[in-house]
């Protein structure tokens, strides 16, 4: 059974590209979600093995999603222009993936399928 990756990304083009890359690599995608509320519903409804979170989702941040993943013991990466030491709150200590990123750099962070 493929690992399930939750994707929270508000840019439609990036989300579509990310989903294709993940599916091509054999992962199942939960989402993509463009906002916090829908992502939390998806997280509650699915077994998730890893999360990929865009830091800024429109007018909100994905910090609530990061906190929910942490509480469930699910690892995640934050796709952002910020550095790890700039992340606070629910993002503290999270791994970051600088945008724009290469697919192989993302796949290197994911759990083995």
Task: Note the pTM of the prediction, 2 decimals.
Answer: 0.94
Using one digit for the tens of pLDDT, what is the confidence trace for 83-102? 777 788 888 878 899 988 99
CATH number at residue 21: 3.40.50.2300
Structural domain count, the chain:
1
User: Where in the sequence is the domain holding 32, given as residue range(s)?
Assistant: 4-109
Helix, strand, coil percentages (3-state) for the chain, rounded to 5, are 40, 25, 35
Pairing state between β 60-61 and 76-80: unpaired
What span, in angstroms and rounded, lies between the C-alpha atoms of 59 and 69?
21
User: Per residue of the chain (113 residues), what is the pLDDT tens digit?
Assistant: 899 999 999 999 999 999 999 999 999 999 999 999 999 999 999 999 999 999 999 899 999 999 999 999 999 999 988 777 778 888 887 889 998 899 999 999 999 98
């Amino acid at each position: 059974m493929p690992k399930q990756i939750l994707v929270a990304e508000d840019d439609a083009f990036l989300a579509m590209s990310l989903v294709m890359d993940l599916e091509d690599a054999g992962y199942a995608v939960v989402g993509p979600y463009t906002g916090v509320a829908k992502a939390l519903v998806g997280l509650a409804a699915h077994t998730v093995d890893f999360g990929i979170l865009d830091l800024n989702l429109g007018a909100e941040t994905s910090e609530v999603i990061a906190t929910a993943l942490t509480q469930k013991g699910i690892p995640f990466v934050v796709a952002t222009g910020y550095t790890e030491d700039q992340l606070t709150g629910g993002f503290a200590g999270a791994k970051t993936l600088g945008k724009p990123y290469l697919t192989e750099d993302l796949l290197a962070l994911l759990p083995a399928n």
